[in-house]
Amino acid sequence: MHRRGFLQIGMAGLLLGPAQLLADGNRVGHLLSCYSDHDGNHFLGMTDRQGRLLMNLQLPARGHGVSVDEQQRHAAVFARRPGDFVWIVDLRNRRVLQKISAAPGRHFYGHGVFTPAGQLLCSESAFDSGLGVIGIYQADQNFRRVGEFLSGGIGPHEIRLLGNRQTLVVANGGILTHPDLPRVKENLATMRPNLAYLDIGSGKLLHTHEPPAQWHQLSIRHIAVSPDDRVAIAMQYEGLPYKQPPLIALHQGDQALKLLSAPAKVQRRMKNYCGSVEFCTDGSRFAVSSPRGGLVTYWSAEGQFLGQHKQADVCGISPLLDESDSFLASDGNGGVKHIDDGQQTVGSWQRAGLRWDNHMQLIL
């Protein structure tokens, strides 16, 4: 009953863009992803589903997340955490439209999201206070920074909107860094990550949810939202490597976090580290990549473990438009695999000499 309910919402959500264009037959969408070459150059790339590179924009440093607005006109590519740039790309002419620099005292934390009201929200850190903030950029004012609100924690990373397009979900990873020492984690002993819900109109913190105290070093980094507002959470454990905490969680409404563990053998292989998480287009399943273990695990929307597939150095995950229960997974060896609803690889391609970075974004 519930399931049917959210499937309908899911289809309604798609009517705005993808579904219409699907009707023309072959359009199955393109992919945006950051990548690096073996000489240490960094790019944003666009490929079609056959792996042909349609666009490559060289970035000043390693990129991370990519977001697209609802009209599919603009993409934003975010510098890797902690970064000093976000670039806006015009998807029609495939050129850089705007280069946003970090505001004084702020740096970008790798992800962001467009709102229906024509704003771009970016996860950022106010590095002197250590507090996480969400920066607000106005699209029709050349993406000028027009304000910010607190993220509800330290180290916000991935942010997404719920179906009402008004509530923002924030993965506050809990980890403090400073731009002087970009990759140094300063507060591992005392970190307290949370999942925060905020109202984007007022910036008001609605509610937050933390892992249990014994797992306070479970950094909440990446999240995905299903059509019925279930939040799937992919975490990274910063404590001792031989402990085996759950690394995945589900959350909905004002319930407590529901922590999920895979069967022991698979759980071990995840190496206490999850990369990307995405729901498939119909919202019935979600996939979580574990790059250190070289595997992707698959879960039902209710949190039941469904299976896994192995792929060395895998990280990027994308849903598919034309197969609403399947996924694509990209890796650091240039490979992209197409995984069906039985966790079987049904297609793959590879671009040698190129390393797909952590995240993929599907566009039309």
Q: How far is the CB of 100 from another protein (least distance, A)?
A: 19
Answer for which of 314, 317, 321, 360 binds another protein (CB under 8 A) is 314
The region of 5-13, 14-22, 246-254, 356-364 touching another protein under the rule CB under 8 A is 356-364
SS3 174: coil
Q: Two tokens at 85? A: 């740039």
Q: How far is the CB of 198 from another protein (least distance, A)?
A: 22
Amino acid 228 reads: D
Q: Two tokens at 360? A: 């993929």
Q: How many CB atoms lie within 10 A of CB 149?
A: 18
185 binding another protein? (CB under 8 A): yes
* CA gap 229, 237 in Å, rounded: 25
69 binding another protein? (CB under 8 A): no
Q: Residue count at the site for another protein (CB under 8 A)? A: 42
Comparing CA positions, the residue from 247, 241, 242 lying closest to residue 221 is 247
Contact 280, 326 (CB under 8 A): yes
107 binding another protein? (CB under 8 A): no
Q: How far is the CB of 236 from another protein (least distance, A)?
A: 8
27 binding another protein? (CB under 8 A): no
ω before 104 within 30° of 0 (cis)?
no
Answer for which of 355, 360, 361, 362 binds another protein (CB under 8 A) is 355
311 binding another protein? (CB under 8 A): no
Q: How far is the CB of 232 from another protein (least distance, A)?
A: 17
Answer for which of 16, 53, 184, 256 binds another protein (CB under 8 A) is 184
* CA gap 136, 113 in Å, rounded: 10
61 binding another protein? (CB under 8 A): no
331 binding another protein? (CB under 8 A): yes
192 binding another protein? (CB under 8 A): no
* CA gap 325, 348 in Å, rounded: 17
Q: How far is the CB of 180 from another protein (least distance, A)?
A: 4
Answer for which of 70, 313, 325, 340 binds another protein (CB under 8 A) is 313
Concatenating the DSSP letter of every residue in 113-170 gives: EE-TTSEEEEEEEETTTTEEEEEEEEGGGTTEEEEEEE-SSSSEEEEEE-TTSSEEEE
Residue 206 or 266: the one with the smaller Cβ distance to another protein is 266
Residue 39 or 140: the one with the smaller Cβ distance to another protein is 39
269 binding another protein? (CB under 8 A): yes
Q: Is 47 left (phi over 0), alpha (psi -120 to 50) or beta?
A: beta
* CA gap 200, 116 in Å, rounded: 11
* CA gap 194, 345 in Å, rounded: 34
Residue 319 or 334: the one with the smaller Cβ distance to another protein is 334
Helix (H) or strand (E) run with residue 18 in it: helix 18-22
Mark residues 142-181: x for contact with another protein by CB under 8 A, - for none.
---------------x--------------------xxxx
* CA gap 212, 221 in Å, rounded: 16
The residues that touch another protein, with contacts defined as CB under 8 A, are 36, 64, 80-81, 110, 157, 178-181, 183-186, 188-189, 221, 240-242, 244, 265, 268-269, 271, 273, 275, 291-294, 312-315, 331-333, 355-358
